[in-house]
Amino acid sequence: MTDMSSALKIAAAGMRAQSSRMRIIAENVANSGSTATGPDGQPYRRKIPVFTEELDRASGTQLVRMSKAASDPTAFRSVYDPGHPAADAKGFVKYPNVNSMVELMDMREAQRSFEANISVIENSRAMLSRTLELLRSR
Give the pLDDT confidence of 68-118 residue by residue, as tens digits.
Answer: 999 999 999 999 999 999 999 999 999 999 999 999 999 999 999 999 999
Q: Identify the pLDDT of residue 53.
A: 94
Judge whether residue 1 has pLDDT over 60.
no
Cα gap 3→49, rounded to integer Å? 29
Per-domain boundaries in the chain: 2-136
Q: Are 121 and 11 in contact (CB under 8 A)?
A: yes
Higher pLDDT, 138 or 70: 70
Note the pTM of the prediction, 2 decimals.
0.85
Cα 91–Cα 36–Cα 94 angle in degrees, nearest 5: 45
pLDDT tens-digit map of 7-26: 899 999 999 999 999 999 99
Q: Identify the pLDDT of residue 2.
A: 63
Q: Are 86 and 94 in contact (CB under 8 A)?
A: yes
For 71-89, the three-class secondary structure string (H helix, E strand, C coil) is ECCCCCEEEECCCCCCCCC
Cα gap 10→74, rounded to integer Å? 33
